[in-house]
Amino acid sequence: MDRRKFIKTSFSASLFPAIVPSTVFGSGAVAPSNKITLGMIGTGDHGVNVNLKSFLVQPDVQVVAVCDVDRHRMENAKQLVDIKYGNRDCQMYDDFRDILARSDIDAVMISTPDHWHVPISIMAIKAGKDVQCEKPTLTIQEGRELVKTVEKYGAVYQTSTEDRAIGVYHRMVELVRNGRIGRLHAVKVKLWSGIRVQGGYSGDQKPQPVPEHFNYDMWLGPAPQAPYTPGRCHWNFRWIYDYSGGMLTDWGAHLLDTFQWGADVETTGPIEIDGKGEFPKTGLYDTALEYNIDYLYRNGVKLNIESGGCSIHFYGTDGWVGNTGWRGNLEASSSRIYNSVIEPDEIHLETCVQGEHRNFIDCVKTRRQPYFPAEIGHRCCSLLHLGNISMQLDRKLYWDSDKEEFINDDAANRKQSREMRRPWRL
C-alpha cells in the first residue's frame, strides 16, 4: 500500500510510527513515511509569509514543490524551502497542473488571487489531493460546486483563515453560544472601507508590456481577457470585481465567520439582504468604497455590516459581548459576562490553538474535516456575495437559503455565477 492510500484509509495518526519508527531518525525527528508531502500553489506575500512559513515549521510536513506565475516570487519561495531542509530538492512549476499531476504529493496549499481559488481546488481534489485554500470564493455558484466536489471525493478541505484559532474570537462565540448574553437578536460588524492600493499604482493605469518573468495569461486564467497593467495584479486584484469582491469579501470572510459561529447559522443564510454602497466612478478599480448592509435571518437575528473600522459585537436580551480592532481585547457589557466560566457540560467549540495549518495536517491524517470546512466557508462567503449583489442592484433582495436562490428575481440569480474564459471550467 502506498503512502497516499494509507493516509486515505487510516483513521488514526497513532498508526504511523508502525511504518518506520521515528527514533531511527534521531530524537524529535519524524520518519519520512509519516510526513505529509505538500505543494504550494501561489507564493505571494501571504502565500509565503504566512502559509509557507507556517508549514515549514511543522515537523510532519515536507514541502516538495512551489508554483507561481511570477518567477521572482517562486524563486524566493524555493530558496526558503531549500534553506529550511538544507538541500535543493524543492521543485518549481509555473503551471499548477504540474503539481497536481505528481502522485507523490498528498496535499496542496492554494494562495492565489480569489478568482483561481475554486477552479484550482476542484482540480486538485479530483487529482486526489487534500486542499487548504485561501478565502474567499468568487461566486455563490462556485462555492456550491466546491462543496459538492469535496463531498463526492471525500477530500479534506480547509478554508484558510486563522480566526477560529484566535483566543478572543473563540471565547466570544462560546459566551454567545452558551447564552451568557441571553437570546441573541442583533450583531454589528465593521469592516475596513476604501481601496488600499499597494505598489504606488493608480486606478487609471494604461496597458503596459507584460514582464518577462510574469505569466500573465495564466494569472488571468478563467477571468475575462484584459490588458496587462501592474495595478491589476498581485495585491491589487482585490479591488476589481473580475477577481474579487473588495474589502467586503477580503475582510468579511474573517469576521463574518465569527458571526456565523456565534449565531449558530454556519450552514444556513439570511432571508433578506438590503445593501447600499458607494462605488468608484472612474478608473480600474470598481469594488465598493463604502457600504452598509442589513441582513435578516429566519430566527429573527439581524446582522449589520458597515464600512469604517474593524469590530464585531453580539447583542442579546441580557447584554452584549464583542471586540474592537483586529484581535482586539474582549469587551462585554458586564463583569458577569466577561468573567463567566464555561462549564465542562456546556458547549465547547472546536479550535486548534496552533492554527489552521496544524489543524489541516492533523485532519489529513485522521480524515476528519477541519474546523473551517468547505460548507461553512461557502456559507460565509455567500453572505458576502449576497451583500455585493444587493449593492450592485441597489435594492433589497429575498433569499431562499435552502435552495440557495433569490426568490422571483432573475436578475439577482444571474449574478450567482460568472462565465469562465475558455478553456477553463469547473
Q: Can you tell me the distance from the alpha carbon of 312 to that of 326, in angstroms, rounded to the nearest whole number?
A: 9
Q: Hey, what CATH class is 166-346+375-426 in?
A: alpha beta
H-run or E-run covering 377:
helix 374-393
What lies within 8 Å, CB to CB, of 184 at 6+ separation is 176, 262, 263, 301, 314, 315, 316
CATH 3.40.50.720 matches 3-163: yes
- One DSSP character per residue, 293-314 reads EEEE-TTS-EEEEEESS-EEEE
- Would you report the helix, strand and coil content of the chain in percent, each value rounded to 5? 40, 20, 40
Q: Where in the chain is the domain with CATH 3.40.50.720?
A: 3-163
Q: Look at the chain and count its residues.
A: 426
pLDDT at 200: 83
The pLDDT, as a whole number, for residue 397 is: 98
User: How far is Cα 380 from Cα 360, in angstroms, rounded to an integer?
Assistant: 19
pLDDT of residue 340: 97
Query: What is the per-residue burial (b if ≥16 Cβ within 10 Å, else e) of 293-305?
Result: bbbbbeeebbbeb
CATH 3.30.360.10 location in the chain:
166-346+375-426
- pLDDT at residue 29 in the model: 63
> How far apart (Å, rounded) are the C-alpha atoms in residues 60 and 226?
42
Residues 6+ apart with CB under 8 A from 47: 40, 68, 77, 109, 111, 112, 134
- What integer pLDDT is reported at residue 148 of this predicted model? 98
Mean pLDDT by 10 residues, the chain (426 residues): 42 32 44 88 97 98 98 98 98 98 98 98 98 98 98 98 97 98 98 93 87 98 96 96 98 98 98 98 95 98 98 98 97 98 97 97 97 98 98 98 98 97 94
What is residue 201's predicted lDDT score, i.e. its pLDDT? 86
DSSP summary character for residue 320: E
- At 12 the three-state DSSP class reads coil
CB 327 within 8 A of CB 166: yes
Q: How many CB atoms lie within 10 A of CB 192?
A: 17
In this prediction, residue 8 carries a pLDDT of 42
Per-residue DSSP letters for 84-108? HHTSS--EEESSHHHHHT-TT--EE
